[in-house]
Amino acid sequence: MPRKDSLAAAAAYFDAGGFFADLQRRVAFRTESDTGAATPALEAYLREEMIPPLVALGFACEVVANPVPGGGPFLIARRVEDPSLPTVMTYGHGDVVSGQDAHWEEGLAPWALTARGERWYGRGTADNKGQHSINLGGLAAALEARGGRLGYNVTWLVEMGEEAASPGLHAVCEQQRDKLRADLFIASDGPRVSAARPTLFLGSRGAVNFSLRLRARPRGYHSGNWGGVLVNPGTVVSHAVASLVDARGRILVEALRPPPVTQAVRNALASIAIGGGADDPEVDESWGEPGLSPAERLVAWNTIEVLALGAGSPQRPVNAIPSEAVAHCQLRFVVGTPWQDLRKIVRAHLDAHGFGQVEVEVTLTGAATRLDVENPWVGWARRSIEESSGQRLDLLPNLAGSLPNDVFADLLGLPTLWVPHSYPACAQHAPNEHLLAPLAREGLQIMAGLYWDLGEPGLAPWAAGRLAQSASTLS
Ligand SMILES: [Zn+2]
């Protein structure tokens, strides 16, 4: 009976307009962080929108300055019922990408929450103000239903620089490691696989951007006078790329291929369809690793992509052998790939294939994470979410895209559960960003259910978090 009370309190908050009013005020803060400057709105958002409701729920709040100059502040909020109880940590970001004010549909604006049918428009509605507001509402509902006592501790970390590549996040988590000690991590960001059903994802793929470049000589030479006796950098770099990945997108460098897809991951992905949305491209069935389904290729495998190619002047070709050529490439990868050694691996591969003169430069890296799909927390969360929503959920072992989840999974050693409340067509990072009202209402109930279930004696597998933590301290 009382579990229902938790969900009912969350739905009542939505139905009475409380959630809309809270989100409306939050959207009005111009918390752009990708403009290169930390504006006063970033800290104001924490002080005026996050701290008061958290204090009302019994949290002790602390604003932590960013150790990286120009980076936005952090909020660490802790609600400790008893230090001997386990702790769940959550995370959200209050900063947004630039408003792109001039490009919204007639009658819409980034800083004014506007409801049109089921869509609630405004910058941050999907990414991430709407999502952490849902989690805050869900927590408040569970606390109300529990009569003010959850049976576990809660820590909130709110970042104000996620859209600027999270400057200082790693450093702050390292500095504040004791305050951030926890047993489980649950947060919300990104889209569901489909608006129709809840999604649970457990980590993300990582990415390494790298460039292959051949600088043959300081200038180009006439192809009639010199073609046939001068190395052509365009030809050589094309072949260097072709030695890494074949014409059907299959990775040819053994060390950059992921470990085999496990049966548990296959099972999780068996019911997940890729694409099919109104704006989605047609999936190319013959592209990528043979023998894998599209979901397996996207979520559970690695890919080498050519992001940009350059030689000569493609806009206006001339009859000359270009002086140099470059291919900007990217490896998207899953856990178990030795991505830290990418430069060394690619270097050795190129040397072995006769491309010793092609330079390799790594320009950007981000780790991959994935909680084991057989971790007891995964089954626990699935049961809770399916009970609250009355629907089967999509379990994604990891997002195909990237998130700074390694800070939580690797640095803090937490089992990470992500419960997104947005959907693929939400126009995240673009004009007309929006949240779907029915998903917000369902999301509030899902979170109220999770926060309720964490406090059910004997139901939540808290020991699994402790195990993950000690395993990561050992490694
Ligand atoms: Zn974003």
Report whether pLDDT(55) > 60.
Answer: yes
Neighbours of ion ligand 1 (CB under 5 A): 127
Of the candidates 404, 29, 422, the residue with the CA atom closest to the CA atom of residue 189? 422
127 Cα: distance to centroid of ligand 1 (angstroms)? 5
35 Cα: distance to centroid of ligand 1 (angstroms)? 14
The residue-averaged pLDDT of 415-420 equals: 98
Q: Which of 72-76, 289-293, 426-430 has the lowest mean pLDDT?
A: 426-430
Question: Kind and range of the H or E element at 13?
Answer: helix 2-15
Burial call 152-180: b when 16+ CB within 10 Å, e when fewer: bbbbbbbbbbbbbebbbbbebbeebeebb
- Of the pLDDT bands very low, low, confident and very high (cuts 50, 70, 90), residue 464 is confident
The predicted pLDDT at position 474 comes to 44
**Cis bond upstream, residue 128 (ω within 30):** yes
Report whether pLDDT(177) > 70.
Answer: yes
DSSP per-residue letters across 121-184: ESTTTTTTHHHHHHHHHHHHHHHHHTTT--SSEEEEEEES-GGGT-TTHHHHHHHTTTTT--SE
Type of residue at 20 = F
| Distance between CA atoms of residues 355 and 52, nearest Å | 60
2 Cα: distance to centroid of ligand 1 (angstroms)? 36
61 Cα: distance to centroid of ligand 1 (angstroms)? 25
369 Cα: distance to centroid of ligand 1 (angstroms)? 18
| Distance between CA atoms of residues 371 and 348, nearest Å | 32
The predicted pLDDT at position 38 comes to 74
pTM of the model: 0.91
% of the chain with per-residue pLDDT over 90: 90
40 Cα: distance to centroid of ligand 1 (angstroms)? 20
191 Cα: distance to centroid of ligand 1 (angstroms)? 11
Of the candidates 256, 197, 227, the residue with the CA atom closest to the CA atom of residue 322? 227
Cα separations in angstroms, 54 against 139, 143, 437 = 10, 12, 23
pLDDT digits (tens, 9 = 90+) for 231-290: 999 999 999 999 999 999 999 999 999 999 999 999 999 999 888 877 788 999 999 999
The residue-averaged pLDDT of 361-367 equals: 94
SS3 content of the chain, % helix, strand, coil (to 5): 35, 20, 45
195 Cα: distance to centroid of ligand 1 (angstroms)? 18
Residue 81, burial from CB neighbour count under 10 angstroms (0-12, 13-18, 19+):
middle
The predicted pLDDT at position 475 comes to 39
362 Cα: distance to centroid of ligand 1 (angstroms)? 24
236 Cα: distance to centroid of ligand 1 (angstroms)? 38
419 Cα: distance to centroid of ligand 1 (angstroms)? 15
| Distance between CA atoms of residues 427 and 336, nearest Å | 32
| Distance between CA atoms of residues 194 and 49, nearest Å | 30
428 Cα: distance to centroid of ligand 1 (angstroms)? 7
The residue-averaged pLDDT of 120-135 equals: 98
| Tokens matching residue 304 | 């080498």
124 Cα: distance to centroid of ligand 1 (angstroms)? 8
Q: Which domains occur in the chain, in start order? A: 3-204+368-474 (3.40.630.10), 206-258+302-366 (3.30.70.360)
Mean pLDDT of all residues in the chain? 95
